[in-house]
Structure 1
Amino acid sequence: MPATREELMAYLDALGIRTSTIEHPAVFTVAESQSLRASIVGGKSKNLFLKDKKGRLFLLSAEDEAVLDLKRLHEKLGAQGRLSFASAGQLLEIWGVEPDSATPFGAINDREGRVTVVLDAKLIAHGVVNFHPLTNTATTAIASEDLLRFLSATGHEALTVAVSES
C-alpha cells in the first residue's frame, strides 16, 4: 500500500524537515498550474516518469517551463538508448502515485530503489522547490537541501544534472 500524504508529512517531520503546503484544485498540467504561480514561492516543477530501452526507470524533476530534448536526454542521464514515458501502471505500482501527480516525494514508496531520481540543476538552484505531496490537489515547498536529505533517507541518491535546454 503506498504512503498517504499524511504519512509523507510525518516522515518529513521525523527527519526534521520543515515544509509548507498549499491546497488547491487538482491540476493535471503545467499550464493548469499557471493560476497558482503567485501563491507559490521558489522553483516550480514538472516531473516526468521515464524509462530507457533496458527498462531502467527515472523520475526527472525540472523547472516547470524547462525545454527538454527527450531525444538526447538519455545521454545526460547515462541511460541506455532514448527515453520514453513509463506506464501509468508502473508509476502507481512503483512510485505510488497516479498520473499527473508524479513527484520526487514518491521515493517514499520505492523501497526497492528501482527508480533513479534526477533533479535539474536549474530547479535545485532556486533553494526552495515545489512538488505535489503524492496528490495533485496540493503543492508542498521544501528547501532544496532538505529534498536531497529526504531522497537520501529513502535510499535515493539523486543525480543533479543540467538537463534543460533553456
Structure 2
Amino acid sequence: MAIGTYNQIMEELTRLNISYEMVDHPAAETTEEADQYIEGHIGVRTKSMFLKDKKKHFYLLIMDDKKRLDFHEFQDLTGAKRVSMAHDHDIKEQLGLVPGIISPFGLMNNSAHNITVLFDKEMLQEPILTFHPNENTHTIFLKTADVLRFVNEQGFEYKIIDL
C-alpha cells in the first residue's frame, strides 16, 4: 500500500493547485492539545472519526470537534447497524494511519475505495477547516471547498449529513 505521507500530501495539494496555511508545532495527541498550538488562527477544528458497522462497512465522519457524535442518530441517518469506532488495525489497514491523526488525507491510502465519507452539514458552512496532515506535528488550514475537492480527486464521493 502506498502510504500518503506528509510530503506526498503536500505534493498532491500542489498538483491540485490547492492553497493552504500550515502551522508546525510539537506533537499533539488530542484536539485540545492541538488547539493550544493554533490559537488565534481562523478555522473549524475538526475531528475525523473512523467507524464501522456490523457488516464491516467503513465510514470516515468529519465533524466539528466540539460536537459529540450520537451513534443512534448516525445510524438513523445512514441506515447503518451497530456502528462503533473502528479498531486500530482497521485504521492502519484502511487508511494507513494510527489513531489520533485520522483525516481525509488518509483516503490517499485506501485503494479499495471501500469507505463512505461523510461530512456534518453545519461545519461545511464555515470557510476554513483544519486537520492533521497525516502527522500530528502540523495543522493544516484549507478552504472547505478545497477539502471537498480533495476527497473527490482521491476517487471518493462524499455525503453530507445533518448531525
The TM-score range, normalised by the shorter chain, is: over 0.9
| Percentage identity across paired residues of the two chains | 31
Unaligned runs of 5+ in 2: none
1:71 — aligned with what? 72
CA distance in 1, matches of 2:110, 2:147: 16
2:136 — aligned with what? 136
TM-score scaled by structure 1? 0.91
Instruction: Note if contact 1:128-1:144 (Cα within 8 Å) is conserved in structure 2.
Output: yes
Are residues 1:145 and 2:145 paired? yes
Instruction: Note if contact 1:49-1:58 (Cα within 8 Å) is conserved in structure 2.
Output: yes
How far does residue 144 in structure 1 lie from its aligned partner after superposition? 0.9
Instruction: Note if contact 2:108-2:154 (Cα within 8 Å) is conserved in structure 1.
Output: yes
What secondary structure sits across from 1:31 in the alignment? helix
1:80-106 deviation digits (Å, cap 9, x = unpaired): x13101111111121111110010111
Instruction: Note if contact 1:97-1:135 (Cα within 8 Å) is conserved in structure 2.
Output: no
1:113-161 deviation digits (Å, cap 9, x = unpaired): 0111111112211111001101111111111111111101111111111
Instruction: Note if contact 1:22-1:139 (Cα within 8 Å) is conserved in structure 2.
Output: yes
How far does residue 70 in structure 1 lie from its aligned partner after superposition? 1.5
TM-score scaled by structure 2? 0.93
What secondary structure sits across from 1:72 in the alignment? helix
Q: 1:36 to 1:162 in 2, by over 3 A?
A: farther
Instruction: Note if contact 1:44-1:123 (Cα within 8 Å) is conserved in structure 2.
Output: no
How far does residue 33 in structure 1 lie from its aligned partner after superposition? 2.7
CA distance in 1, matches of 2:72, 2:45: 24
Q: 1:22 to 1:37 in 2, by over 3 A?
A: closer
